[in-house]
Amino acid sequence: MRHSFLFLFAVAATLSGIPGFAQKNVSYYNEPYRPQFHFTAEKNWLNDPNGLVYYKGEYHLFYQHNPYGKGWGNMHWGHAVSNDLLHWKHRPLAIYPLEGTPDHYKCPAFSGSAVVDRNNTSGLQKGNEKTIVAIYTAMHCGQRVVYSNDAGKTWQPYPTPVIPVMKNGTMDERDPKVFWHEPAKKWVMVLYIGPDKDQQERGIAIYNSANLLQWEQKSFIKGMYECPDLFELAVDDNPAEKKWVLHGADGGYFIGSFDGSTFIPETEKIKMDLGNNFYAAQSYSDIPAADGRRIQIGWMNGGIYPDAPFNQQMAFPCVLTLKRFPEGLRVCRNPVTEIKNIYGEKFVITNKMVQPGSNILSAVKGDALDIHAVIEPGTAGSFGFVIRKGSYETSGTPVRYDARNKKLSVLGKTVDLEPVNGKIELRILADRASLEVFANGGKISLSGCFIPVYTFNDLEFFCEGGNVKVESMEIYKLKSAWQK
């Protein structure tokens, strides 16, 4: 996909310059700024998560990837698999540009999605394995299909585009997200369409298909931009009440109704993640009904990782739920419970009054942490956490709650946050160069990248202007998902 802020990525690429790459030894995935529980490519550029699909115990993660350098370009689909969304195994490249050489590609492999064709509607299945079908944008060459009959190990291209390049004056059609709509017994595709001479506003086209190979446009929704996703969620976990969510690359979403062909928004656009670094999120298809979660992974765009062989990282996988609040329905995001698989040493504090100038976390050190806290603001004007203490001036503002003005700030981004029953609940995932903060049950989330002084691993909880009460605080040091 094409982005308007590529200059940030060029800066990131110039800051990285290690020739070659370390083999699997004690230094594997252990560079100073290498995330320890967020997904990164072994080396070179990464952006949008693509083709998120679950099949036979494996979560497949495809992603936009430049195998030839640390800057955006030469788009292929990288590929990795995991059985717990934490411990990833790299697979060979899955999708290549259709034509060209490393110096000049025609039809680079832009973003898309993948599904399991369980009923062989496409007729592509050969053998006993169900066919995994990936639908993606071959830029300037239409929407294309590749498929696998060996559980995603190898991929075969379908010979012709399933949606040719449109003849309406635009080449900007991309990022197909496909799913099976059971009530209508048909496949649905949401596809970004850029503005053209007749259609003055960009938006999302909705298509239907019986077989994944022939598609018909049914409707169009204005005002959305790239990497769309459309899915259904139960309201307050009640299976008798469900709504549909239409989500775009910038994190904006509508809640509404969907009949298989037409989405009708019932809200204004709402922002799903309010941080500095969150883009092009996609949710998994084919999660078993016994699990039932809507699992999402986003790209933490624009992060900078000095002197690293890789560039960019994924956000941590989150479960999406739909909750009712006084102001209406909102999507909540919370980390998947599988993070417990890498829990290490645990620190617990309960019912503790904290005064300004004290640090109740002086014994806690680490560059990968999962922090759970419930705080009563008390008389304090503000309180929060300094992550990687000593890096403060280089990493931006810490996690801070302004109790008087009821605002939460994370790495310089500030949002409104009202207490619930007089308390603020915070969940913080801290990795070597990123913070993801989830507030009040995931109603608010902010994802951000930062550059700490990598040798500083202290943690501080502070309060200013008065005392606060820590009702509960649990902090887990996280083991590396990449080290045996």
How would DSSP label each residue in 154-165? S-EE-SS-SBPP
Distance CA 223, CA 256 (A): 15
The SS3 assignment for 338 reads helix
Name 164's Cβ contacts closer than 8 Å, sequence gap at least 6.
142
Residue 23 in contact with residue 422, Cβ under 8 Å?
Answer: no
**Strand ranges across the sheet with 369-376:** 343-354, 468-478, 369-376, 424-431, 434-439, 444-449
Residue 427 in contact with residue 319, Cβ under 8 Å?
Answer: no
Catalytic residue positions, numbered: 48
The SS3 assignment for 337 reads helix
Give the CA distances from residue 483 to residues 30, 44, 109, 406, in Å, rounded to whole numbers and listed in that order. Answer: 8, 20, 31, 41
Distance CA 405, CA 396 (A): 20
Name 26's Cβ contacts closer than 8 Å, sequence gap at least 6.
none
Residue 163 in contact with residue 143, Cβ under 8 Å?
Answer: yes
Burial class (CB in 10 A: 0-12, 13-18, 19+), 101: exposed
Classify strands 44-55 and 58-66 as parallel, antiparallel or unpaired: antiparallel
Distance CA 235, CA 254 (A): 14
Q: Return the ∠ at Cα 300 (arms to 295 and 304), rounded to 5°.
A: 155
